[in-house]
Amino acid sequence: MQMKILINNIRHRLTVFIHDLLMVPIAWFGAYWLRFNLDVIPDEFFDRAVEVLPLLIIVHAGVNWFYGLYRGMWRYASIPDLIRILQAVAIGLAIGFGLLFLFLRMEDIPRSVPIFYGVLLVMLLTGPRFFYRWLKDHHIDLRVGERVLVVGAGKAGELLVRDLLRKRDHSYLPVAFVDNKKRWQGQEIHGVPVVDDCEAIPQVVEKYTIDCVMLAVPSAKSVQRRRLVELCEQSGVPFRTVPELDELMSGRVSINQLREVSIEDLLGRDPVALDWGGIRTGLAGKTILVTGGGGSIGAELCRQIAQLEPASLLLLDQSEFNLYSVEMELKEQFPVLQLYAYIGDVEDRATVEQLFSRHTPDIVFHAAAYKHVPLLEHQVREAVNNNVLGTRNVAEAADRHNCSEFVLISTDKAVNPANVMGSTKRLAELFCQNLDARSTTRFITVRFGNVLDSAGSVVPLFRKQIEAGGPVTVTHPDMERYFMTIPEASQLIMQAAAIGDGGEIFVLDMNEPVKISYLAEQMIRLSGKTLGEDIEIKYIGLRPGEKLYEELFHEQEKLQQTGHEKILLAQHRKVDWEMLSGAMAEMEQACQQFDNACLMQQLQQLVPENRIGRAD
């Protein structure tokens, strides 16, 4: 590498050296040409000019080297470079013509030639240097590159353009900015003009023959990002985005690591402010168990927790491959973390008891659950066994081993459930809430809606259908769901755990619901396809157990504010503990006997608000 740098430096200096030497004869004969009024130079004067030229070349070569004209980079030519050139030319003229006067008495050298020669030589030495810098500063590049429109003239936009202009291997040529701040319009940033506001993206693309739009607004709210994407789609050219603000600030990525706009950019919400100090205090130095640690939420919880320096982190999952993948990832990213990965099922009481006896976890995040609504609708036993009895196994083990905290990860489908999956999750909520009053362990429930790109969710399904050429299947044009990203859900779960006293149902603020049809349309467009031409949307009707609209809380739960703006508190319903325990024992026996009718009866009795089999 050092040798390569040395060779490049030598090549650069040699190029500049040759350039400056070539300027000497051009300036010399140009001076004669001016002296004779741009006419033919008489022979006697021309012969003398040729005779003395080698002396001038030698003199100026030495003087230029002495004054360091070959050390500076033309890309950054400045006033000090001009001063050095003036000094070098002046000294070179004094030495050169001093020698000519001493040896030749300046015969056949007109008196005006030294003046013309000095002026021309200064112009020929400085002109190319400053012209080259002007080309670079105004990105008038000789290469052929994609003409780029940068959306956002703030700090991110300025950094992006600066980086694009500096990197020679990039084939992008920033042509213009658009920004909604009126005070910036009409100004230039690194020579790139701010030409209009963001609403004019389609018109600017056409006017300036733009090949690509780059979104440099990492802190924009989701609503603003959606509007920008709509405008980019109207322009008909490809568009990219810079990384998110938190990624840039953390140093994980740089401004020039452009990527495709993702569905998370459009449906993901505004960045969440977390009390990381309180979260770290609650988790650092603790032994933490995450059940379902190989799943989407469980794995992300492990990633977030691992950063907070727990004493040890335990993973339990029944999927061998998922568990292996997460274990390898965590070991690579956190080599000093005390990590234990166990293959096991929360339905297996012996496995759960063995894990708690061996490690005595301080905190449990219970993410293990079956969640696929249509699949579970006809497999009541499996849903109850995992979501209800499995939760009971882990919760009771936490109670017996004096865990300080147990966090149940629930779902919006547990509210007025219209399916088996939602009913089992609601029953798991009821068990944990009511166990809290009888235990020293704090039992906390966190409830939220759909998570973007989680395993088995609609986003991977749509992506697969788009890759296959369609159609994209949507159950109903009016179906709506709440969405949040996996990292945000995991972070809010930890935040809820930090502020909970026990017995609460925390409901994550999901903002406004999103139509599934809108999600499908946006994913088709973001894939570069045209809706209705390249890929169709096909409506197939509601599947068993599905509702058109999900709810985040029951009308009797009376949501209250908490210390965090994105976390709400729902008042839970108390039930008779003896009755609940007896019903759970009966459900366990029904599972052993595959008595689905009994299980359905118990679900109806224990979750009276459920609407299984009823119209939405």
Residues 6+ apart with CB under 8 A from 110: 32, 35, 45
Higher local confidence (pLDDT), 336 or 65: 336
Report which listed range, 74-78, 448-452, 562-566, is most confident: 448-452
Specify the pLDDT at position 513.
72
Higher local confidence (pLDDT), 401 or 219: 401
Beta bridge partners of 189: 192
Residues 6+ apart with CB under 8 A from 242: 156, 160, 214, 215, 216, 218, 248, 255, 257, 258
Specify the pLDDT at position 255.
43
φ/ψ of 131, rounded to 5, equals: -70, -40
What is the spatial distance between Cα 72 and Cα 89, in angstroms, rounded to a whole number? 16
Higher local confidence (pLDDT), 364 or 102: 364
Confidence band, pLDDT 50/70/90 cuts, at residue 447: confident
Average pLDDT over residues 370-382: 90
Specify the pLDDT at position 1.
40
Q: What is the pLDDT of the chain when averaged over all its residues?
A: 80
Q: Is the pLDDT of residue 183 over 60?
A: yes
Specify the pLDDT at position 5.
44
Q: Is the pLDDT of residue 345 over 80?
A: yes
Specify the pLDDT at position 459.
73
HSE value, Cβ hemisphere, 13 Å, CA-based, for 82: 6
Catalytic residue ranges = 413
Specify the pLDDT at position 510.
63
Higher local confidence (pLDDT), 535 or 356: 356
Ordered structural domains, the chain, with CATH: 2-137 (no CATH), 146-261 (3.40.50.720), 276-606 (3.40.50.720)
Could you report the per-residue pLDDT of 577-601, keeping only the tens digit for each? 889 889 999 999 999 999 999 999 9
Specify the pLDDT at position 370.
92
The total of other beta-carbon atoms located within 10 Å of residue 354's CB is: 14
Higher local confidence (pLDDT), 231 or 362: 362
Higher local confidence (pLDDT), 247 or 427: 427
Specify the pLDDT at position 254.
45
User: Worst-scoring range by mean pLDDT, 113-127, 207-221, 450-464, 541-555?
Assistant: 541-555
Give the pTM: 0.63
Specify the pLDDT at position 248.
42
**β-strands 514-515, 480-481 pairing:** antiparallel
Q: Is the pLDDT of residue 382 over 80?
A: yes
Specify the pLDDT at position 35.
83
Could you report the per-residue pLDDT of 231-271, keeping only the tens digit for each? 888 888 888 877 654 444 444 444 445 555 656 666 655 55
Confidence band, pLDDT 50/70/90 cuts, at residue 366: very high
Could you report the per-residue pLDDT of 511-525, keeping only the tens digit for each? 667 777 877 777 777
Could you report the per-residue pLDDT of 268-287, keeping only the tens digit for each? 555 556 677 888 888 899 99
Confidence band, pLDDT 50/70/90 cuts, at residue 142: very low
Confidence band, pLDDT 50/70/90 cuts, at residue 93: confident
Q: Is the pLDDT of residue 140 over 90?
A: no
Residues 6+ apart with CB under 8 A from 372: 421, 456
Query: Helix 2-35 to helix 43-66 angle, to the nearest 10 degrees?
Result: 150
Report which listed range, 56-60, 239-243, 537-541, 591-595, is most confident: 591-595
